[in-house]
């Protein structure tokens, strides 16, 4: 009797070792937190390694966060290390371009956030007055700034920050629901994300320099021939579709115009290691009363869930056409004596 028991235990251990190649190592109780009043936005940085976060500990704490909620745009300014692997000449050149651009545009924007400059005709006078300096004085100013580089940086004449920007993915009815998880002991608390945005490097300094060079060239042409100024005129944009029909781009123009006219909303940034961030983390991302939390139930059976996440099943007929297989529910009784299903 004892020998049979030992053999049974050995067989059970052997079966467990051979059959379970991916054993369960830990289990968690899952809780869904109630929706908070503030919007929960996840910012992703595809071009940044996870071991180099934008934090104060890593000397990369973001300088400013701004958002255009109606246009669905967000930008983050992060500091640049201007004392290592940095081209000072280009830094001053681009920094001066950004400084003059901010004076002209009153802290405006470039790219999609500015509607790609759609209908931008109101800054011609300012552009001419700012960019009408001769090249000799410009080179002298460049040398003076290089000689006093740290002072130029303190006066905002050096490009010492990088702008990361992206578009907020709208939460439509057909889009997946994403959650952010926070662990506490053997509990996993899930909070629903309202939006996700992927931020990538933007190049407003290059746009600013190009814009000013074009303005300077335009000013020179206008000074040569003042009687032939280009007057603003309305332009109707159209694009040819694949079938040859014209598509009105008026709706796109409205979206770009709305993005251009909407003002940035500046947000207060809190470092992840600050006391305020930790307080918000514990207050917003955990369910306080886990004892009386309602049980999660599913409105779908296991078979319905598998059908919902699976591709439609098809079969190929003799003619080579694919036909969708319609699943029919079979209801029957099982004869346990003969193991035959009677339908």
At 310, list the tokens.
């699976």
**Out of 39-48, 128-137, 260-269, 295-304, least confident range:** 128-137
User: What pLDDT score was predicted for residue 138?
Assistant: 58
Q: Are 200 and 47 in contact (CB under 8 A)?
A: yes
User: What pLDDT score was predicted for residue 151?
Assistant: 92
Task: Please give the residue that has the higher pLDDT: either 122 or 13.
Answer: 13
Gap between the Cα atoms of 81 and 52, Å rounded: 14
pLDDT digit string, tens, across residues 234-270: 555 555 554 555 555 667 777 788 888 888 999 989 9
Whether the pLDDT of residue 191 is over 90: the answer is: yes
Q: Are 99 and 160 in contact (CB under 8 A)?
A: no
Whether the pLDDT of residue 94 is over 50: the answer is: yes
At 104, list the tokens.
């002209």
Q: Are 212 and 184 in contact (CB under 8 A)?
A: no
Long-range contacts of 272-277 (CB under 8 A, 24+ apart): 272/53, 272/55, 273/55, 273/56, 273/57
- In the numeric block, the tokens 């506490």 are attached to 184
User: What pLDDT score was predicted for residue 5?
Assistant: 45
User: What pLDDT score was predicted for residue 132?
Assistant: 44
Radius of gyration of the chain (CA): 32
Main-chain dihedrals φ then ψ at residue 230, nearest 5 degrees? -80, 125
- In the numeric block, the tokens 């409105």 are attached to 299
- DSSP class per residue in 85-131: S--HHHHHHHHHHHHHHHHHHTS---GGGGGGGTT--S-HHHHHHHH
The residue-averaged pLDDT of 124-129 equals 42
pLDDT digit string, tens, across residues 97-120: 888 888 776 555 666 666 555 545
Whether the pLDDT of residue 17 is over 90: the answer is: no
**Out of 141-150, 161-170, 317-326, least confident range:** 317-326
| The total number of residues written for the chain in this structure | 343
**Out of 35-44, 73-82, 327-336, least confident range:** 327-336
Gap between the Cα atoms of 151 and 147, Å rounded: 9
Gap between the Cα atoms of 269 and 277, Å rounded: 10
Whether the pLDDT of residue 9 is over 60: the answer is: no
Burial of 113 (0-12, 13-18, 19+ CB in 10 A): buried
């Amino acid at each position: 009797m004892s020998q049979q028991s030992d053999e049974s235990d050995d067989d059970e251990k052997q079966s467990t070792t051979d059959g379970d190649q991916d054993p369960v190592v830990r289990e968690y109780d899952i809780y869904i937190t109630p929706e908070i009043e503030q919007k929960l936005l996840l910012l992703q940085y595809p071009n940044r390694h996870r071991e180099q976060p934008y934090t104060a500990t890593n000397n990369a704490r973001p300088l400013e966060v701004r958002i255009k909620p109606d246009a669905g745009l967000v930008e983050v300014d992060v500091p640049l290390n201007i004392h290592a692997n940095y081209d000072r000449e280009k830094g001053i050149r681009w920094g001066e371009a950004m400084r003059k651009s901010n004076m002209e545009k009153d802290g405006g924007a470039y790219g999609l956030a500015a509607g790609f400059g759609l209908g931008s005709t109101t800054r011609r006078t300012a552009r001419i007055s700012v960019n009408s300096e001769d090249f000799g004085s410009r080179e002298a100013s460049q040398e003076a700034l290089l000689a006093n580089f740290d002072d130029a940086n303190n006066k905002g004449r050096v490009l010492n920050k990088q702008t990361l920007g992206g578009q907020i993915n709208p939460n439509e009815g057909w889009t997946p629901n994403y959650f952010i998880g926070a662990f506490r002991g053997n509990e996993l608390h899930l909070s629903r994300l309202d939006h996700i945005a992927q931020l990538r490097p933007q190049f407003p300094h290059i746009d600013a320099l190009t814009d000013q060079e074009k303005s300077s060239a335009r000013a020179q042409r206008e000074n040569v021939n003042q009687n032939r100024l280009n007057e603003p005129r309305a332009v109707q944009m159209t694009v040819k579709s694949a079938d040859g029909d014209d598509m009105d781009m008026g709706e796109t123009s409205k979206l770009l115009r709305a993005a251009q006219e909407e003002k940035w909303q500046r947000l207060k940034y809190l470092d992840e290691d600050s006391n305020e961030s930790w307080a918000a983390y514990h207050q917003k991302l955990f369910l306080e009363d886990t004892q009386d939390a309602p049980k999660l139930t599913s409105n779908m059976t296991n078979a319905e869930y598998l059908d919902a996440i699976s591709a439609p099943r098809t079969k190929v007929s003799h003619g080579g056409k694919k036909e969708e297989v319609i699943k029919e529910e079979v209801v029957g009784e099982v004869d346990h004596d003969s193991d035959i299903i009677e339908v």
